[in-house]
Structure 1
Amino acid sequence: MWRKTAIIAMAAAACMACGRRTALKAGTPSSLPAGECAATAKLSVPYPEIPTYLNGEEEEAGYVLMHFWDGVDFSDESWTEAAETMEEAFARFITVASLYPDMELSKQAVARLMQRLGEEAVPDVYDLMTGLADKYLYDPNSPLRNEELYITVLEEQIADPDLEDIYKVAPRERLRMALKNRPGDRAADFSFTTGKGGHGTLYGIDADYVLLFFHNLGCPACREVRQGIVSVTAREPAAGMLASGKLRIIALYPDTDMAEWVAHANEIPDTWINACDKAQEINEKELYDLRAIPSLYLLDRDKKVILKDFVNPEMLSDALTYSEAD
């Protein structure tokens, strides 16, 4: 069940919290003087006043999302001197938008923010806010990374009539890549070579579920994710699915060092498909946006994407449980 009260509390914290850093800044000492909540005392992100006619906490949370930035003057250049306050508020806004059950409303809230920035923000504040969007929604290492919300950011940047074309080049390229292999879409097919000298294609794998594990050799993060997959698939429901062939796992090395790939072959469990992209089809055709590795994709029988570009193996167990119960 969605924890509505928690989301309301986070929305309030976004506007009223003082001196706390975001998840990406954990452990970094604040440069603000003790007792101050912003570099400029007059600047804050005030909490939206919720109308009494709204019906229940979910509607209230939706209202907070849509009106989160109403009290902010984006034409005020001094926001660049209170960047920490703005970053803290932005992180809370994205947290609420990511957890809210209606993703379409969350996208509308992000679009509204971007439209206001395009219409009102001075250049330095516009750069501050779009930089925060890049950091929290696009950076592979961000715990709040959310490609669906970032697609909305990119679409609004591209649609902004006042943004010069030169500043739309990067958003257009990022949007092109982000639109590949989205949840619900059929994943791009590719051919692969196996450790036993065989060949195959993604679409040729006959299974109800396919887990794609893009990895590099000698990569500590890849080893950690691999061990996590082994742990998850040692218990139900994944264990039985793997044993019966209902779930297949393909460990795909996308780079070019074939000798090293062969040397590391014993690291891949025998129940998995140990494969490489010997023809470099994935990289050359940009079939997948492999900005960071490791990367996991969970596909259904029709090779439609269930989960895209995730790294927490526990999400595999949750998704399989949910899909089987559906």
Structure 2
Amino acid sequence: MKRPNFSLWLCIGVVALFYCSCKDNTKGKQKVDLAQQGEKPVSTADSTLFHFWDKFDMQDTAQVKNPEKGEQQLADFLQLLAQHPDSATRDKAIDLMLDKAKVNRTSFDYFIKQYEHYLYDGNSPMRNDIVYESVLRYLIKTDLLSDLEKEAYRPTYKLVLRNKVGQTAEDFTYELANGKKQKLSDTKANYTFLIFYDPDCSHCKETIQQLRDTPQLVQLFAQLKVQVVAIDPWGDRTKWKDYQSQLSDQWINGFDSESKILSFNLYDLKASPTIYLLDENKKVLLKDTYLQQVIAYFVKTNS
């Protein structure tokens, strides 16, 4: 095993930490006897998820809407779900929880809004398309909702299924400052740091400044042959051109002159900036991520 690269770890300390991700510290999965389910034994972690809401009274609306009760219970549940790698287990845990909530439409509607707030809101530090995908799968099949209500969730469901980790990122054409056009797939690099930004977004400016002006980070990206592809998808050419000086000359700075990214929902741009990390074949390594998480990924894979 190679020794850890000091510059990688130094970058973690230099770059501002916007959000912290949860890590599963469980050292193993102990089997329990659940023969009464008629299924193969499940791990203690799975059992905790499946029985997480057993003692929670969905009929007690006051408890449900109490932030220290209902909302806190959901936040703890979501942390456990985010740590679980198996989609079938996540689906089952959410199915069990929402089936329990169905006994009270007020409770059901409340938790659906909380799921959206925590998992899909662009400003939520806990946003997680993988977990929200399980919620959406439930909503488009439940008998509690009308066909019209279900249809309202289908566009979002299709969107969260795009550009998932392991998939090839949606290709698109963009315009360069010199007027030439090229495609995302044309990028030649070990990694592509794809950032969709809005020239008026203060958080975008902070991220871009860190990416451009942190010497250790610039060195790291050069060392690992990371190509930054910065795309303005919002369609205001004047603002895009005026913002050119804020970006590094080493980056690819593109403009979606035909607004296809937004028109065809090629990427889910619910927040600015939106960041993806792609491998040399343009497969998604990190989806809708943060600069700090990209650095952490490099630390883990290059140590």
Query: Which TM-score applies when normalising by structure 1?
Result: 0.75
- Deviation for aligned residue 1:51: 9.9
Measure, in 1, the Cα distance between the counterparts of 2:131 and 2:51: 17
Q: Which residue of 2 aligns with 1:234?
A: 218
Aligned residue for 1:13?
A: none
Structure 1 contact 208–301 (Cα < 8 Å) conserved: yes
Greater Cα offset, 315-324 or 296-305: 315-324
Q: Distance in 1 between matches of 2:111 and 2:185?
A: 41
Question: What percent of counterpart residues are identical?
Answer: 29
In the alignment, which residue of structure 2 is the partner of 1:320? 298
Which residue in the other structure is 2:276 paired with? 297
The offset of 1:82, in angstroms, is: 3.6
Alignment-mate amino acid for residue 60 of structure 1: T
1:114 aligns with 2:136: no
> Secondary structure at 1:200's aligned position in 2?
strand
Note the C-alpha offset of 1:83. Answer: 5.3
* Post-superposition CA distance 1:161-219 (Å, at most 9, x none): 23211221221121011111111111110001112222110011112211111001132
The one-letter amino acid of 1:62's match is D
Residue identity matched to 1:320: F
Q: 1:262 corresponds to which residue?
A: 241
- SS for the counterpart of 2:153 is helix
Distance in 1, Cα, partners of 2:279 & 2:249? 22
Tell me how far apart the structure 2 counterparts of residues 166 and 143 of structure 1 sit (CA, whole Å).
31
Change (3 A) 1:132 1:176: same
Q: Secondary structure at the match of 1:260?
A: helix
- Determine if contact 2:119/2:132 at 8 Å carries over to the other structure: yes
CA shift for structure 1 position 115: 3.2
Q: Tell me the SS of whatever aligns to 2:182.
A: strand
Contact 1:110–1:149 under 8 Å retained in 2: no
1:179 to 161, 166, 169: 161
Q: Residue by residue, what CA displacement relative to the aligned partner does 1:257-293 show, whole Å, maximum 9, x if unpaired? A: 2122111101000110011101212122221111221
Matched, 1:132 2:114: yes
Distance 1:78 1:204, change over 3 A: same
Task: Name the count of aligned residue pairs.
Answer: 270
Q: Equivalences for 1:1-326 in 2 at 5 Å?
A: 2-4=24-26, 59-80=43-64, 82=66, 84-100=68-84, 102=86, 104-118=88-102, 121-230=103-212, 231=214, 233-236=217-220, 238-241=221-224, 246-310=225-289, 312-324=290-302
Deviation sequence 1:63-109 (CA, Å, 0-9, x none): 22221001123244454554541011101111122134555533432
Question: Which runs of no fewer than 5 residues in structure 1 stay unpaired?
Answer: 6-49
Gaps of at least 5 residues in structure 2 are 1-22, 35-41
Instruction: Give the superposed CA RMSD.
Output: 2.5
* Equivalent in the alignment of 2:38: none
Indicate the structure whose relative CO is greater, using CA pairs within 8 Å and at least 6 residues apart. Answer: 2
Note the C-alpha offset of 1:148: 0.7
**CA distance, structure 2, for counterparts of residue 266 and residue 114 of structure 1:** 50
The alpha-carbon distance between structure 1 residues 265 and 59, as it changes in their structure 2 partners (threshold 3 A), is same
SS of the equivalent of 1:182 reads coil
